């Protein structure tokens, strides 16, 4: 994919449905008690992997465009698959589904592509084994062989990392455990939003017995989620908000190109996901939220963003670190590109989790920024990039959708032409990305 520098971006965009919420809607409706409809289901390949796995587990699913009808089979109604369950590139599919499968009466094997099979799964194996599950793995990585017929007991589990996938896996396994299962988020020194809470919100919306508690103990903020094993799920229609992580690419493009104006319609604004807006605003980007409302327990609204000549920080330092990282983990590649355009550059720390994503996102970002002649240094837990004049170059997606899209936006800011190798992987989360980008890119006449 070749990208030329742009003068500004303009237009109204209807983004595809949120990937995280789509996975959860499909899985939770599959184990609900009857039939319901999902509208604006993500077009992402990852979410198709989830639907395919659920079909292989005997769930009746019909898809008409972005509308998906799911016939719930109940918490224990899934059928033994007659093949391995292929999660493709999707960590969310593998980690959340494992929580559901641990409590079934049959064995199942979860596999994925090379990237997924090299990602850490010990983080879910450990709590599931504490609950009584029996799982064989390839030294803590997929394939995962989940043995059924092991009764699950409830646990109180302190999450070693602020991962929504691990938290969700524990909560979903908790639906099939005796008693109440507690997932305790890592302690925090400040009162910040916990990792994304779509599982909790959707479980509540579908009638599960789930509670959240925030308390302060010895100067730390503690956030716990408790689900009762006796919970059953009612089937209810779900509308998927547009994906704020996909919106991020256009938010940054518009922020950095003066004269830009973009409206992103019906975007999910859940506070556990929307830290990107705060960060951009703190550097002077003009962002307005319109038509804010609630739909199936999620906050949704239109985002209007305008470009500015010079972006500089009104916060103490040009640094993003600490607990906020969990609330913008998927936006860090595009924030690295943003960092090249702002006075004082940008430093990201406490983000070592990026090394365990679809690619090692710290090294992918640093390598590509260097190829574009940005002034950047790599840390074990992040990077620092200075305001830089980007030069068009041959960059690599490293097979990672968010890297492909972040560097397409970098190409808009660069002098000359940028070529992205293996850009097609954008389809993992946003198949329409390059078309939408092309529609909004404008040149002064």
Q: Which residues carry out catalysis?
A: 330
What letter does residue 211 receive in the DSSP assignment?
Answer: E
Using DSSP, state whether 284 is helix, strand or coil.
coil
Of 146-154, 161-169, 285-293, 419-427, the window that binds ligand S3P (rule: CB under 6 A) is: 161-169
| Distance separating alpha carbons of residues 325 and 6, to the nearest angstrom | 30
For the bound state, the minimum distance from the C-beta of residue 417 to ligand S3P, rounded and expressed in Å, comes to 30
The number of residues making up the chain comes to 445
Is 368 near ligand S3P (CB under 6 A)?
A: no
Q: For ligand S3P, which residue of 3, 164, 262, 369 counts as binding (CB under 6 A)?
A: 164
Residue whose pair of structure tokens reads 């002064």 in the numeric block? 444
Binding mask 17-36 for ligand S3P (x = CB under 6 A): ---x----------------
Is 163 near ligand S3P (CB under 6 A)?
A: yes
When the beta carbons of 9 and 206 are compared against ligand S3P, the nearer one is 206
Of 26-34, 162-170, 184-192, 209-217, the window that binds ligand S3P (rule: CB under 6 A) is: 162-170
Of 163-171, 176-184, 317-325, 420-428, the window that binds ligand S3P (rule: CB under 6 A) is: 163-171
Q: For ligand S3P, which residue of 37, 196, 223, 427 counts as binding (CB under 6 A)?
A: 196
Using DSSP, state whether 364 is helix, strand or coil.
helix
| Strand ranges of the sheet holding 376-379, from the earlier edge strand across to the other edge | 319-320, 346-348, 382-385, 376-379
| Distance separating alpha carbons of residues 399 and 81, to the nearest angstrom | 29
For the bound state, the minimum distance from the C-beta of residue 422 to ligand S3P, rounded and expressed in Å, comes to 19
Binding mask 316-345 for ligand S3P (x = CB under 6 A): -------------xx---------------
Is 223 near ligand S3P (CB under 6 A)?
A: no
Beta bridge partners of 290: 302
For the bound state, the minimum distance from the C-beta of residue 24 to ligand S3P, rounded and expressed in Å, comes to 7
For the bound state, the minimum distance from the C-beta of residue 327 to ligand S3P, rounded and expressed in Å, comes to 10
Of 70-78, 79-87, 159-167, 411-419, the window that binds ligand S3P (rule: CB under 6 A) is: 159-167
188 phi and psi, to 5 degrees?
Answer: -130, 145
When the beta carbons of 218 and 380 are compared against ligand S3P, the nearer one is 380
For the bound state, the minimum distance from the C-beta of residue 331 to ligand S3P, rounded and expressed in Å, comes to 10
Query: How is residue 256 written in tokens?
Result: 């950095």
Burial of residue 184 (CB within 10 Å: 0-12, 13-18, 19+) is middle
Of 160-168, 228-236, 265-273, 406-414, the window that binds ligand S3P (rule: CB under 6 A) is: 160-168
When the beta carbons of 56 and 330 are compared against ligand S3P, the nearer one is 330
176 Cβ partners below 8 Å, 6+ apart? 75, 76, 100, 102, 103, 104, 152, 229
| Distance separating alpha carbons of residues 368 and 354, to the nearest angstrom | 15
378-397 positions binding ligand S3P, by CB under 6 A: none
- The beta-strand segments (E) located in 229-350 are 238-239, 261-268, 286-295, 298-306, 319-320, 346-348
Residue whose pair of structure tokens reads 């994925």 in the numeric block? 112
Q: For ligand S3P, which residue of 165, 197, 340, 368 counts as binding (CB under 6 A)?
A: 165
67-96 positions binding ligand S3P, by CB under 6 A: 92
For the bound state, the minimum distance from the C-beta of residue 30 to ligand S3P, rounded and expressed in Å, comes to 16
Angle between helices 164-174 and 91-101 (to 10 degrees): 20
| Widest Cα–Cα separation across the chain | 68
Binding mask 109-148 for ligand S3P (x = CB under 6 A): ----------------------------------------
Question: Which CA distances in Å does 21 have to 218, 292, 439?
Answer: 34, 18, 26
For the bound state, the minimum distance from the C-beta of residue 123 to ligand S3P, rounded and expressed in Å, comes to 8
| Distance separating alpha carbons of residues 295 and 171, to the nearest angstrom | 22
Contact by Cβ (8 Å): 174, 199? no
* Interface contacts to ligand S3P, rule CB under 6 A: 20, 92, 163-165, 168, 195-196, 329-330, 353
């Amino acid at each position: 994919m070749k990208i030329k520098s742009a003068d500004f971006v303009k237009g109204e965009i209807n983004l595809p449905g949120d990937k995280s919420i789509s996975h959860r809607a499909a899985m939770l409706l599959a184990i609900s008690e009857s039939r319901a409809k999902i509208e604006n289901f993500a077009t992402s390949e990852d979410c198709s992997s989830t639907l395919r796995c659920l079909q292989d587990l005997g769930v009746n699913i019909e898809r008409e465009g972005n509308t998906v009808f799911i016939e719930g089979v109940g918490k224990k109604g899934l059928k033994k698959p007659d093949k391995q369950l292929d999660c493709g590139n999707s960590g969310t599919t593998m980690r959340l589904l494992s929580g559901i499968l641990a409590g079934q009466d049959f064995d199942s094997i979860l596999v994925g592509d090379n990237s997924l099979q090299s990602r850490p799964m010990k983080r879910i194996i450990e709590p599931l084994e504490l609950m009584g599950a029996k799982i064989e793995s390839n030294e803590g990585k997929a394939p995962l062989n989940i043995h059924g017929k092991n009764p699950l007991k409830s646990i109180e589990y302190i999450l070693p990392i602020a991962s929504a996938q691990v938290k969700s896996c524990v909560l979903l396994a908790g639906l099939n455990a005796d008693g109440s299962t507690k997932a305790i988020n890592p302690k925090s020194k400040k009162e910040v939003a916990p990792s994304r809470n779509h599982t909790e919100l959707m479980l509540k919306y579908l009638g599960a017995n789930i509670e959240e508690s925030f308390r302060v103990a010895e100067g730390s903020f503690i956030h716990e989620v408790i689900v009762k094993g006796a919970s059953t799920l009612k089937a209810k229609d779900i509308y998927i908000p547009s994906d704020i992580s996909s919106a991020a690419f256009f938010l940054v493009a518009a922020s950095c190109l003066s004269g830009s104006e973009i409206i992103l319609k019906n975007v999910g604004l859940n506070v556990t996901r929307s830290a990107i807006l705060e960060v951009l605003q703190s550097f002077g980007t003009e962002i307005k939220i319109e038509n804010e409302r609630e739909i199936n327990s999620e906050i949704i609204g239109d985002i209007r963003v305008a470009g500015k000549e010079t972006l500089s920080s009104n916060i103490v330092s040009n640094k993003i670190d600490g607990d906020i990282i969990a609330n913008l983990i998927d936006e860090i590649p595009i924030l690295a590109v943003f960092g090249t355009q702002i006075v004082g550059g940008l430093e990201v720390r406490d983000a070592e989790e990026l090394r365990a994503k679809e690619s090692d996102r710290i090294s992918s970002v640093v390598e590509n920024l260097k190829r574009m002649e940005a002034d950047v240094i790599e840390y074990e837990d992040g990077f620092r990039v200075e305001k830089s004049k980007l030069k068009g170059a041959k960059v690599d997606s490293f097979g990672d959708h968010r890297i492909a899209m972040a560097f397409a936006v970098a190409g808009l800011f660069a002098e000359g032409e940028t070529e992205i190798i293996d850009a097609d992987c954008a389809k993992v989360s946003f198949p329409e990305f390059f078309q939408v980008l092309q529609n909004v890119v404008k040149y002064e006449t």
